[in-house]
Amino acid sequence: MPFRSIHRSVADRAAELPDATLFELPGGRSVTYAETIELTQRIAARLVADGVMPGDRVAMQVGKSWEAIALYLAVLRIGGMFLPLNTAYTGHEMDHFLSDAEPRVLVCSPERCDEYTSRAGALVVETLGTQGDGTLLDGRECYADTYDATPSDPAAILYTSGTTGRSKGAVLTHENLASNCATLTEAWRFTGADRLIHALPIFHTHGLFVAMNLVMTTGASALYLPKFDLDAVVGLLPRATVLMGVPTFYTRLAADPRVDRDRVASMRLFVSGSAPLLASDHAAFAERTGHAILERYGMTETNMNTSNPYEGLRKPGTVGPALPGIDVRVVDRESGAPLPDGEIGSIEVRGPNVFAGYWKLPEKTAAEFRDDGFFITGDVGRIDEDGYIVIVGRDKDLVISGGFNVYPREIEELIDAHPDVLESAVVGVPHPDFGETVVAVVVPASGATPDGASILRYIAPELARFKQPRAVEIVEALPRNVMGKVQKAELRKRYAGLFA
C-alpha cells in the first residue's frame, strides 16, 4: 500500500466528506473538512510567500484554535517542519528554541508580535489569534504545490520538557506520525462515527499527534474546547463517543455528581495519559460510569508505545502491552542485557514510531540508541505476568541511597494507599552519610490531617529500611506541568537542604 502522510490522509477524507463536520466550536459554530482544507491551502501559500522551503522550520506559539490545526497541516503540505511551542514560554525561554531550531517563520499570538518582531532578525513573524484574526490569514494567495513527502522526511520538531538541562528537539518523521496514527486507529477502533471531546493543548503529542491526527484521518469530528472546563465537558458527554485526557480530568469528572452511567451512555472510550493515573481514581471513575479508563504510554520521542487493550483487561497501574509493530523490552540499566519479566530495569522501544534523532545533537542521539535500534527511553519499569508494562518512574528520578537503588514509584504506591493520603511524590535529596536519601511529599485526602509518623508506620512493614523516607513533607498540592506531570525536579530543589 503506498505511503500516505497525515496531510494526504486528511485531504483524502475532505475529498470524500467535504461537508462533514471536523470541528464543533463553543457557541455552536461548525467547521467542515472542506473549510479546513481550504484554509490549509491559503496558509500554505502564505508560508511559501514568506520563503518557507521543504525542510524549513515553522514555529507556532498561539492560543488554541481550529486555524492553528490548519497551520499544522499547511506546514506538512509544503514539506516544512512543524514546531509547536507552549504558550506559557517566556521570551527568555523562547530565545533557546528560536536560536536552536532556527525557524524561517514564527507564528505567534497578536499580543506578542512586537516582542518577537523586535528580536526577529531574519525570522519572519506572523500572527494568529483565537478569533480568526492575525496576519497569517491576511494573504490573498490561495495555492501552493503539495510536497510529496517520503516516510523518512522530517515532519516536526517537539522539544522535550527539559527537566534536566536544556530542552532537546526530537525530530519526528512523516512515517513516525502516520504509522502511529494508523496503529492507534486500529487499536482503539477509531472511525468516522466518533466524536472526540478535545480539551487538551495542541502543542503536545497527546493533543496534536494522537487526538487530532486520529480525528482528521478517520473523518471523525472534534468537540473542540479551548481548555478543560468541567461544565463544558460534562455538557458534551451525552453527545460524544471518546474523551482523551490527563489524570486530573478524570479526578474531577469522578467527583462530579452529574457524571453517571446515563450521562456517558454514548461514550465508548476514555483514554488517559501524559502522567500516571492513581488506582483510586481508576476505581472511582469505573464505579461512577461503568467504564474502565484506558491508560497508554508514550513520550515526545516516540508517540505511543503501549496501550491497555480496547477489548480485554485494562489493568490499573499498568500501561498495557506493546502496540502492534512496536517492540518494548526491559534491560539492565548498566549492561543493556534483557531482564526476566518481573524485574525492574530500563525500558527500551523500537519501531516505526521512534523518532529520527535529536536536532543538531548527533552524539546525544547516538548515545540514546542501542546498536540494534532500540531507543533508551529513560523510563524505568517491569513487565508483569500478563506482558503489561508497569512504569516505575524516570531513570533520573532513581534514588541511590547508600549504594542501594530506590524506585520512588514503589514507595508512592504504598503511601497513596494510606486512607488519609490523596497522592504523594517521592524524591531523592542530598544526605551527608548516604549520598542521597528518600523524602516523601504528601498531599492529604480531603478533610484529613495525616502526620509523617503515621505514614511511616503504615508503610514500614512493606519496605526495607533503606527505602523508607527519612522525612515526610505535607503540602497542599504537588507542582505539575500543563500536562499534569509532577515536577520532581522542583521538589528536589525545594527540599535539597533538608539534611545539609
Q: What is the mean pLDDT of residues 239-245?
A: 97
Phi, psi of 461 (to 5 degrees): -65, -20
Q: Which of 220-229, 375-384, 397-406 has the lowest mean pLDDT?
A: 397-406
Does residue 381 register a pLDDT over 80? yes
- Answer yes or no: is 466 within a domain: yes
Any idea which residue has 451525552 for its cell? 238
> Which residue range is the domain that position 119 belongs to?
6-186
Three-state secondary-structure class, residue 61: strand
Does residue 310 register a pLDDT over 50? yes
Residue 247: the pLDDT is 86
- Answer yes or no: is 322 within a domain: no
Q: What is the mean pLDDT of residues 381-409?
A: 85
C-alpha dihedral, 443 to 448 to 452 to 453, nearest 10°? -160
Does residue 402 register a pLDDT over 80? no
461 vs 394 pLDDT, higher one: 461
- Answer yes or no: is 227 within a domain: no
Q: How confident is the model at residue 165 (pLDDT cuts 50, 70, 90)?
A: low
State the total domains in the chain.
2
328 vs 138 pLDDT, higher one: 328
Domain finish residue from 154, 186, 218: 186
CATH number at residue 418: 3.30.300.30
Helical segments of 50-171, H only? 66-77, 91-101, 113-117
- Answer yes or no: is 384 within a domain: no
**What is the residue-averaged pLDDT of the chain?**
92
Phi, psi of 244 (to 5 degrees): -110, 130
Domain finish residue from 186, 219, 249: 186
Residue 145: the pLDDT is 86
Q: Residues 440-455: pLDDT tens digits?
A: 999 999 899 998 999 9
Domain finish residue from 186, 206, 227: 186
Does residue 234 register a pLDDT over 90? yes
- Answer yes or no: is 63 within a domain: yes
Q: Residues 46-102: pLDDT tens digits?
A: 999 999 999 999 999 999 999 999 999 999 999 999 999 988 888 888 888 999 999
- Answer yes or no: is 393 within a domain: no
Give Cβ neighbours of residue 102 (< 8 Å, ≥ 6 apart). Answer: 57
Q: Residues 177-223: pLDDT tens digits?
A: 999 999 999 999 999 999 999 999 999 899 999 999 999 999 999 99
CATH number at residue 165: 3.40.50.12780
- Answer yes or no: is 371 within a domain: no
Does residue 162 register a pLDDT over 70? no
Residue 172: the pLDDT is 98
Does residue 164 register a pLDDT over 70? no
Q: How confident is the model at residue 120 (pLDDT cuts 50, 70, 90)?
A: low
Residue 163: the pLDDT is 44
Q: Do 353 and 302 form a contact (C-beta atoms < 8 A)?
A: yes
Q: Residues 273-288: pLDDT tens digits?
A: 887 788 888 999 999 9
- Answer yes or no: is 454 within a domain: yes
Does residue 245 register a pLDDT over 90? yes
Q: What is the mean pLDDT of residues 318-345?
A: 93
Residue 1: the pLDDT is 64
Pairing type for strands 303-307 and 294-299 reads: antiparallel
Q: How confident is the model at residue 462 (pLDDT cuts 50, 70, 90)?
A: confident
Q: What is the mean pLDDT of residues 7-30?
A: 96
* Cell output for 245: 485526557
Q: Which residues of 114-133 are buried (b: 16+ CB within 10 A; e: fewer)?
A: eebeeeeeeebbbbbbbeee
